Structure 1
């Protein structure tokens, strides 16, 4: 313990000398589950009332080409490590992976994770749980709520269970607020990763919101989430943390909206519609079409991230680790392939371009406006479109965001080039580390 304290103090002294400590922002990541691209008013929804998130978008930058992964566990391992799931292994993320929480803790941050973990195979495997992966404090569930119930852990200890899904959004928000007010050391910067269970499969809202929206039960959940997020943002104001905190709101993947899933799934409240809206995007969760991967993302940092701005730059959860490295004062691991890139200049408005390309798991690749899918592209079973032909697909996302006009036959050279790029990305260590930089 004494050795750790000495190392921590030396780290703070070094950061202070270099000027980095004064610049280290607090980081608040609000991560929803299975939320559709078009669920919020600021992303075009006309039924759900989301005033707090719409206001957050006005105060910061709203990204329209932001990518997560297509399902829960892989999305979380990619977020935490900056590495595609072909390397970070999704639900089975090994203890040897390095998370941004580990690196931030070494650079002086206090770190907390609240909510859904989902990268330890949904089991209490201690060396793969949050405390062992860089988080000083943890409260939440190790897996999902597919059966209509969840079990909690606080740090590494069991902490009860519930089948009241309508209580979770408020519970997690309460825990996050309590962390900021009662556990946080005001002399140190913090990382708070709040990973909600909603809007995943067996959804529900509290009595305060149930039956109140124009969007059915799903709309009730969205509106309660908006309200609870507002409570958390108000806490930042109350504690005078607003101007020093980089807030990131996004989701793990697109909405579960496929008939093959919804017709078979049991355990939902009677008459409920439990999937979100993908807007102009094709398909949903589990799919390699845009609605599976492309999700809402809003970033706010007063006086740093431009306000009332909309960006169509390609940006992704895998970019958070190298971006935090620059902002928070740590080095990106050099012993492994990091697929993310430093997007600090994009966030701060110093440039308008983002990633050159993005890889879709065992399915294809995007480069600029072009998106290519191999003929045998990977889909989770419920997301396979019954009438999809197994052929190469090429789309111009600039003019065809809904991926309706397959241009593969018209541009065979482009197909060949993108297929080769996909193979290079999958090869891992052979990938040119500068290949994604503008």
Structure 2
């Protein structure tokens, strides 16, 4: 596979442009945030702290910076991801759909059988050896990966020079610096999930703390490589006496990510080299609340930030206590996804402020997006576009499009767009499914693509500007956008349907046929199905119920 990658890279060509002329790229990829959570999208419904639906304005986010970014640049009304984290990231990073990379859904990932007969998840760098990190790197960019990876395999093979992960993979269990984590123990002969901080059973799914007192791992950090005793490519942070001294429950993972992102940007700029930052924030993802372990909250509070009409200020965080009993001294917000969105707005303000200070704001492209719908509303859902409809805001100096853009975009379109930006030509014999958005953004082109696609395991979703098929096989009239962004009229009586819709149904049905390989080509080529695969067990269970 390494030989294949080298051959691919050998045939890549890119424009001979001076480093200073190449635009920097920041891709801020939020987690589990539906388009409806941003006021920009005009929905009359959003998510309350416990999940579900609300129209209570006190739970609506406030995003002045993202709205300014959308005005300076543009925002897209209908952008589709997959319905859950891993396959969405796979789609975006590779420019391909699941029939090629085999990441069908989080617990349904195609496997590869190794020479010794063992099975493992087929890593994206094997199924798709040309990804966004590889493309940027080949164009002479420094590449940095921050936050949540949601990827299997060796994180150093995805085309990124350095990284700051929180923590990277759930298999990274040996962090010695924080006890905000879960562990399975045997008690009275039973396997029990406990909160390591308190030693008490935890009624949740197994996870690390990625917000407060976070698990942070650095990849290829230059200071780490200077230490003879720790010349490892991956190192736990805090990694210096000073950082260990200041580390504690008040330390906030999204702040740490941004600290290392900014440090990397500074180093690249000082070396007169362009950078590509792929920042996968956890913000938006629900989580166990380590500061309130007995409270049934969905989205733990964030640091308090305040907007004065021109800029943000952040209240210094103070958290005292231990063993599950903590006092936040009024420096942490109440729970709620709206606070997560607000904090993303604050971080975007920090990004734009930093770029201006560095003098590169007029030579940096910013992309804000998310990986799938909100937990408790859209995540994992194939009902209409609940799980797939995500926000997309793009700012690029010199772009011709501004404000609202009523076009269709797939996350798969990001890879060819980034290739266009950095000047890399994708080999003609390397198939991708995305279509570059760059010509639309930079010319007088009025449309982008006429259908978008998503998947959830064996379920397939597709839509045009007029018609949508969801993963449950239902068809919807999507000519007009409802106030809640989801309550489209269902089409059931096809004999009485518009000719437009009948023709679209035929066209869209034919379009998705080549992608429908879940049952026949689920795994890596040449791999026999693993009898212990989770998706096969689930399938057998479903058949038994019938």
Question: Under a length normalisation based on structure 2, what TM-score does the superposition of the two structures give?
Answer: 0.61
Partner of 1:35: 33
2:137 alignment partner in structure 1: 105
Structure 2 gaps, min length 5: 1-9, 44-56, 107-120, 171-180, 182-204, 220-232, 239-246, 288-298, 306-327, 519-546
| Structure 1 residue 208 corresponds to structure 2 residue 208 | no
SS in 2 for 1:70: coil
Distance apart, 1:364 and its partner CA: 2.7
Deviation (angstroms), 1:420: 2.1
CA separation of 1:364 and 1:222: change in aligned 2, threshold 3 A: closer
1:212 Cα deviation (Å)? 8.8
Answer with 104-113 or 162-171: which moved more.
162-171
Deviation at 1:234, TM superposition (A): 0.7
The count of residues paired between Structure 1 and Structure 2 equals: 368
Per the TM alignment, residue 237 of structure 1 is displaced from its structure 2 partner at its CA by: 0.7
What is the deviation of 1:337?
2.4
Separation in 1, partners of 2:61, 2:14: 48
The alignment partner of 2:75 has SS state of strand
8 A Cα contact 1:71 1:253, kept in partner:
yes
Query: Over the residues paired in the alignment, what is the CA RMSD in angstroms?
Result: 3.2
Q: Secondary structure at the match of 2:366?
A: strand
Q: Encode CA deviations 1:133-178: one digit per residue, 9 max, x unaligned.
A: 1101111132479625244321141414999597122221222112
1:420 is matched with 510
- Provide the rounded CA distance (Å) in 2 between the counterparts of 1:70 and 1:405: 21
Q: Flag as ranges the 4+ runs of structure 1 deviating above 6 A.
A: 210-215
Larger radius of gyration: 2
Shift of 1:22: 6.6
Change (3 A) 1:221 1:166: farther
User: Does residue 329 of the first structure (1) align with residue 389 of the second (2)?
Assistant: no
* CA–CA distance in structure 1, aligned partners of residues 124 and 469 of structure 2: 30
Report matched runs for 1:144-183 at 5 Å: 147-150=207-210, 151-155=215-219, 156-160=233-237, 167-183=252-268
* Residue 435 of structure 1: aligned partner: none
1 or 2, which has the higher helix percentage? 1
For residues 252-276 of structure 1, what are the alpha-carbon distances to aligned partners after superposition, in whole Å with 9 as ceiling and x for unaligned?
Answer: 1110124xxxxxxxxxxxxxxxxxx
Deviation of 1:305 (Å) = 4.7
Counterpart CA distance in 2 for 1:297 and 1:14 is 27
Alignment of 1:204-243 (within 5 A): 204-209=300-305, 217-243=336-362
- Mapped pair 1:134 → 2:219: no
Residue 51 in 1 paired to residue 64 in 2? yes
Task: Give the alignment of 1:44-83 within 5 angstroms.
Answer: 44=42, 47-83=60-96
Verify the 8 A CA contact 1:364 1:419 in the aligned structure 2: no
Higher strand share: 2
Alpha-carbon shift at residue 34 of structure 1 (Å): 0.6
1:298 aligns with 2:393: yes
Q: What is the distance in 2 between the residues matched to 1:300 and 1:349?
A: 14
Deviation track 1:5-34 (CA, whole Å, cap 9, x = no partner) reads: xxxxx99x9733xx5867532111001001
Give the Å deviation of 1:354: 1.4
Aligned-pair distance for 1:41? 2.8
User: Structure 1 regions of 5+ residues with no counterpart?
Assistant: 1-9, 259-283, 378-391, 429-438
In the alignment, the residues of structure 2 paired with residue 214 and residue 396 of structure 1 have an alpha-carbon distance, to the nearest angstrom, of 40
Alpha-carbon distance change, 216 to 116 in structure 1, aligned in 2, over 3 angstroms: closer
Alpha carbons of 1:197 and 1:254: their partners in 2 closer, same or farther (altered >3 Å)? same
What CA distance in whole angstroms lies between the structure 2 residues aligned with 1:347 and 1:398?
A: 23
For residues 284 and 102 of structure 2, what CA distance do their matches in structure 1 show?
23
Counterpart in the other structure of 2:405: 311
Distance 1:200 1:407, change over 3 A: same
Partner residue of 1:394? 475
Residue 333 of structure 1 and its aligned partner are, at CA, apart by: 3.9
C-alpha contact (below 8 Å) 1:213/1:220 kept by paired residues: no
Query: In structure 2, do the counterparts of structure 1 residues 75 and 163 end up closer, same or farther at CA, with 3 Å as the change threshold?
Result: farther
Q: Take 1:39 and 1:340, find their aligned partners in 2: how far apart are those partners?
A: 26
In the other structure, the counterpart of 1:187 is 272
Over 3 Å counting, the alpha-carbon distance change for 1:419 and 1:14 in structure 2 is: closer
Compare 213-222 and 314-323 and name the one that shifted more. 213-222
- Whether the 8 Å contact between 2:82 and 2:371 is mirrored in structure 1 is yes
Once residues 318 and 168 of structure 1 are traced to their aligned partners in structure 2, the CA distance between those partners, rounded to angstroms, is 28
